[in-house]
Chain A
Amino acid sequence: MKLGDLAPLDLAERMKRQGLDLDTGPFVVRITTPIANLANELRALYCDFTLEAEGGLADFHLAVRHPAGPLGVRRYWRRQAKVYVDETPPFEPLPIDMAVPMLEWSINWCAATQVNQYLMIHAAVLERHGHALVLPGVTGAGKSTLCAALAHRGWRLLSDEFALIQPADGQIAPWPRPISLKNLSVDVIRRWAPDAYMSPPVQNTTKGTVVHVRPPAESVRRARDRATPAWIVFPTYEQGTANRLTPLPKARAFFRLAGCSFNYETLGIQGFQTLSRMIERCDVFEFAYSSLEDALRLLVALPLPAPLP
């Protein structure tokens, strides 16, 4: 059963009690919340995801509640929400309208701190004709905008935040969750993909205005289809620049990727080998762009890397 098939009242009831176990691809995420608005918003963003049966095993366990006030009474703090991971709150409470970004960040945090069966790199990943494009991201460099744009123009979304690389064979596992956009990107993508569902804008976060875009249904449907990485492209949006792809020396790319990895060091020799192999098989570029249309054209035209000997 998909989350979208659940009636809103049933959903709210379930999220209040035992919580919802969502199959997000590589991880089952349990979310519990008595906050009806949040339940509805999650239904909209995750409508194509499969619900796991109750009483099962989840990877991450999160709850979003109003913070407890004096004597444990939560009524007075209705305008705030707090995320609990395993009943411990890792973050300070925030205004209630920030519940969705807070929850999304917390799920990211769970993966970043608990997962080691993959080498995890902070990157967007998209696939076309069986080949994966990895866009490692410094926040603000335009990775998410490019990712959202590609995802709505013929590329399959694997993830907008996490490249999950399997050590055994170098394949990338999808985790096609909602794409987060900030500030000006929001309008850009609204024009680019007018039919894509977006959550109501959340203002005044530490990153400005934040919106989450529902992942394309096809990407969610194919959440178990892994892809072979072919190109690693470090994007930088620069207004007015000429769009150009510049090959990046691979030894330097190694350090940049290790630097935006969540668990390269934790994995020790396995991290080193997995990253080396990925870089070996891919073509690596820096990409300055100022126009999404041109970016798309350039990326689609990328030749496949030479096969390994």
Chain B
Amino acid sequence: MSSASDVEWQLAEGSRLHWVSWDREYVVFNEGSGDTHFLDSFSAEILKVLEQFPGPEPALIERVADCLNLYRDAGLERRIRDAIQKFREAGLVDPARA
């Protein structure tokens, strides 16, 4: 478990995101990959934070909680981690390494 929280996250190398939203639903185009993604407002917040502040997972969780004005409990942490995993599967984020 401790190694998992040492992971540093960043946008997938070569990414360049463009955002548009209507009624709290988001469409994100990644110019680097050519992919278009649909995000709800919670996921969008997480991705926006990651885009601006790549870094270790705990710091990320902290910032997201602040941004969304949410109480930082185990449930929230899990939801944020799940979202990051989904981003990883979608090719939007990478663990930072060489």
Give A253-284 as 1s and 0s: 1 = Cβ < 8 Å from B's Cβ atoms: 01100100000010011001100100110000
Give B26-49 as 1s and 0s: 1 = Cβ < 8 Å from A's Cβ atoms: 110101001010100000000000
With contacts A251-B26, A258-B36 taken as known, whether A268 is within 8 angstroms of B31 at the C-beta atoms is yes
The answer to whether A265 touches B34, judged by C-beta atoms less than 8 angstroms apart, is yes
Inter-chain CA distance A251–B21, complex, in Å, is 7
With contacts A258-B36, A265-B34 taken as known, whether A251 is within 8 angstroms of B29 at the C-beta atoms is no
- What are the residues of chain B within 8 A of A258 when measuring CB–CB? 36
Taking a contact as CB atoms closer than 8 A, the residue among B21, B26, B29 that contacts A269 in the complex is B29
Inter-chain CA distance A251–B22, complex, in Å, is 6
The answer to whether B27 touches A269, judged by C-beta atoms less than 8 angstroms apart, is no
- What are the residues of chain A within 8 A of B23 when measuring CB–CB? 249-251
- What are the residues of chain A within 8 A of B27 when measuring CB–CB? 251, 254-255, 272, 276
- What are the residues of chain A within 8 A of B20 when measuring CB–CB? 254, 272, 276, 280
- Interface residue B25 (Cβ < 8 Å from any Cβ of A): yes
With contacts A255-B38, A265-B34 taken as known, whether A272 is within 8 angstroms of B25 at the C-beta atoms is no
Nearest to B24 among chain A residues (CB) is A251
Inter-chain CA distance A251–B25, complex, in Å, is 6
Chain A contact residue count (CB 8 A cutoff): 15
Inter-chain CA distance A255–B36, complex, in Å, is 9
Report, as a range, how many residues of chain B touch the other chain.
10 to 19
- Interface residue A252 (Cβ < 8 Å from any Cβ of B): yes
Inter-chain CA distance A237–B38, complex, in Å, is 28
Inter-chain CA distance A273–B18, complex, in Å, is 9
The answer to whether A272 touches B36, judged by C-beta atoms less than 8 angstroms apart, is yes
Inter-chain CA distance A254–B29, complex, in Å, is 12
With contacts A265-B34, A268-B31 taken as known, whether A249 is within 8 angstroms of B22 at the C-beta atoms is yes
Q: How far is the CB of B77 from chain A (nearest CB, A)?
A: 27
- What are the residues of chain B within 8 A of A255 when measuring CB–CB? 27, 36, 38
The answer to whether B18 touches A272, judged by C-beta atoms less than 8 angstroms apart, is yes
Q: How far is the CB of B20 from chain A (nearest CB, A)?
A: 5
